[in-house]
Amino acid sequence: MRTSQSVIFFDRQKLVDLHNTVEKFGGLEPIDGENFTPMPESEVEAVEVGLGLRLPDPYRKFLLTFGACSPKEIVVYDPVLRLPSEISTSGKGNLAIFYGDESDVDDAYSIQRRIQVFSGRVPANLIPIADNGGGSQILLGISGEEAGKVYFWDLNNEPFDEEDYMEDYGMARPPEAMFENVYLIAQSFGDFLERLEVIDG
């Protein structure tokens, strides 16, 4: 059984590990201003209430530590399964922005807003957590077999919406159709951060 002191030490160690991982790919910088705006616990909980579940702890810690942010360097991720050549000739993917809290200036980087925007466009058990700089999304699994895993969602091959699918195929769109443009890139959020690397030159 952990004492309160050991829990505090454990939490601090996880925070140190998170910062060390981030520094491996050159660090992060805030979207707005000079200082990071960590997502308040109340806002994280509001997201969780809306989803009806608790976010995976590594990602939760990231939101509470950094909020909306972007890599200081130009980075790519080396996915567990290479991306198709029509998406990336190298098999690697780009990362531009991590979403965070709502902003008084612009809600484009709000995870709450992104979840709303992509509702019905991405699989129901995945949520957008980052952008590749071109509108394609980095998704986090929140339930089912995909829980905790990280995926790439290709904007350029977005599946038909319900109405168009019915019109073209004469049947309701099956859940698996939503995964036609989704690719596994990491086994966990921590694994995703470890797969980020700076582009040389």
CA angle centred on 81, ends 186 and 20, rounded to 5°: 35
Backbone angles phi, psi at 167, to 5 degrees: -65, -40
Residue 21 has φ and ψ, to the nearest 5°, of -65, -45
Contacts of 178 by beta carbon, 8 Å cutoff, 6+ apart: 122, 123, 124, 159
Farthest-apart Cα atoms in the chain, separation: 61
Across 31-173, the runs of DSSP E, i.e. the strands, are 69-71, 75-77, 93-95, 97-98, 126-131, 137-141, 150-153
Do 69 and 36 form a contact (C-beta atoms < 8 A)? yes
Given the DSSP bridges, would you call strands 69-71 and 75-77 parallel, antiparallel or unpaired? unpaired
Sequential pLDDT tens for the chain (201 residues): 444 443 344 456 667 789 999 999 999 999 877 899 999 999 999 999 999 999 999 999 999 999 999 999 999 999 999 999 999 999 999 999 999 987 645 588 999 999 999 999 999 999 999 999 999 999 999 999 999 999 999 999 988 877 878 887 888 878 888 999 999 999 999 999 999 999 975
- CA-to-CA distance for 47 and 42, rounded, in angstroms? 9
Check if the beta carbon of residue 99 is closer than 8 Å to that of residue 70.
no
Q: What is the pTM of this model?
A: 0.89
Q: What domains are there in the chain, each with its CATH number?
A: 4-198 (3.40.1580.10)
Nearest to 185 by CA among 88, 54, 93: 93
Q: What is the token pair recorded at 154?
A: 């290709």
Q: Is 44 helix (H, G, I), strand (E, B) or coil?
A: helix
Minimal CA–CA distance to 189: which of 130, 161, 148?
148
